[in-house]
Structure 1
């Protein structure tokens, strides 16, 4: 019995636009995983602003967009425990090891030289469009 291999999935051309949702389809604080590229792209609605980030953690290849949304902690001597949460909902945390990545830039405080790819998003005629 021979096993036929499937041809590799073609990569999308750089700069191609993809309509990924209608406005209102992705509620604030939620996301949609779309099959763009090798790992997919998570499209997030943060208080009406849309962000798109690759579904791949550079640490060990985890499915980044399966993680939780959150903010980042900063030192705040006035707050209980000495820390406050800021920029809530603007970071995605990898479900494997909890590395947090900023949705807008793809940067992480854990290892700043390891960023994850982000993609431009725009809204036009009630459509959310990602360029990837």
Structure 2
């Protein structure tokens, strides 16, 4: 059973964008898709690029290093269906974005 940990405020993640948060020594990418928040591992499985710094279009983020694409809701990789990053359960409490770790 995971613990809910605050990773950002809702105002910190602009609509259609992402950011990187450090939680317990782990880098997590947080995204705002039409007012809903999603969190996945920040590290691209291809070459380790920072997904939280990538361009977001709809619910897909493109890694800024080599353009591998991931669904921010599921962590699934569009370039390689057998690859994925961990997607975290997100809860919003007031203005706090929390993930279950």
Same fold (TM over 0.5): yes
TM normalised by structure 1 equals: 0.68
Matched, 1:59 2:46: yes
Structure 2 residue corresponding to 1:98, chosen from 52, 55, 67: 67
Look up the SS of the partner of 1:108 in the other structure.
coil
Question: Of 44, 49, 52, which aligns to 2:31?
Answer: 44
C-alpha deviation, 1:37, in angstroms? 5.0
**Greater RCO (Cα-Cα under 8 Å, separation 6 or more):** 2
Bigger fraction of residues in strand: 2
TM-score, normalization: structure 2? 0.86
Q: Indicate the structure (1 or 2) with the bigger Cα radius of gyration.
A: 1
Give structure 1 stretches of 5+ with no counterpart. 1-13, 71-88
Q: Deviations over 1:20-70 (max 9, x none)?
A: 233333221122311025550111111111100111111111222221112
The CA RMSD over aligned residues, in Å, is 1.8
Secondary structure of 1:45's partner?
Answer: strand
Any residues of structure 2 matched to 1:14-53 within 5 Å, and which? 15-36=2-23, 39-53=26-40
Contact 1:39–1:56 at 8 Å: present in 2 too? Answer: no
Asked if structure 1 preserves the Cα contact closer than 8 Å seen for 2:8 and 2:21, the reply is no
* Bigger Cα displacement from structure 2, 116-125 vs 20-29: 20-29
